[in-house]
Chains A and B, each alone.
Chain A
């Protein structure tokens, strides 16, 4: 069975500092990995994805993530956090199979202080 773990409920960083939001996954076969961001009472906005190729993936708003197969991780990073980055972040995984849905982690609330 597929699963995603986001071990931190909340991450607090100061504006201008680097941020990391952790994600590990478990899936049979090659994973497709995603990060989404959600603002209050809104749907999910796509940030980035790993399908194949370079392990370091760059996405929207200056975010990036590194796929680490040996550690089954896909941590989200940003070199310099902004207050506007404060939101709920979800890691998700699915297998490369038609019709399969994304399985989400529980989410991590990122709080960036000024």
Chain B
């Protein structure tokens, strides 16, 4: 199947700093990418949907100025957590789907810890 690579897999940052997470589709063109957040032992909550070259569409309750999403190419989307705080600590997962594709492929996830 298609491969989605997410980097870094784990990051620890100080409160107030920004962290960038990358999501790359390695062998297909990802016209749509999705960012999810997962709390321990809970489901994945959709944060935003981004189509290549367009602004991301954020879900209700997700601060777009805090979680900056860029999808500048068909193989790369980034999520930047700005001015991170301990409550932003979570597991972030990206997924990508090609145009006309029925399934989405998931990255390995990024464990963010804000201290």
Enumerate chain A interface residues (CB-CB to B < 8 A): 32, 34, 36, 41-46, 49, 51, 90, 98-107, 109
Contact = CB atoms under 8 A, between A and B. Distances in A.
Interface string B81-115: 00000000001010100010011111111010000
A41 B111 contact: yes
Interface of B: 1, 4, 6, 32, 34, 41-44, 46, 49, 51, 91, 93, 95, 99, 102-109, 111
A103 B106 contact: no
Contacts of A49: 102-103
Contacts of B91: 41
A51 B1 contact: no
8 contacts: A41-B91, A43-B106, A43-B107, A98-B99, A102-B95, A105-B43, A106-B42, A107-B42
- Of A32, A42, A51, which is in contact with the most chain B CB atoms at under 10 Å from its CB? A42
Contact of A43 (B32, B42, B43, B93): B93
Given A42-B108, A90-B43, A99 B102 contact: no
A104 B39 CA distance: 13
Given A99-B32, A99-B49, A99-B51, A46 B43 contact: no
B107 to A, nearest CB: 5
Contact of A44 (B32, B51, B93): B93
Given A41-B91, A46-B1, A103 B46 contact: yes
- Of B42, B106, B111, which is in contact with the most chain A CB atoms at under 10 Å from its CB? B106
A36 B43 CA distance: 12
A36 B106 contact: yes
A102 B104 contact: yes
B32 to A, nearest CB: 5
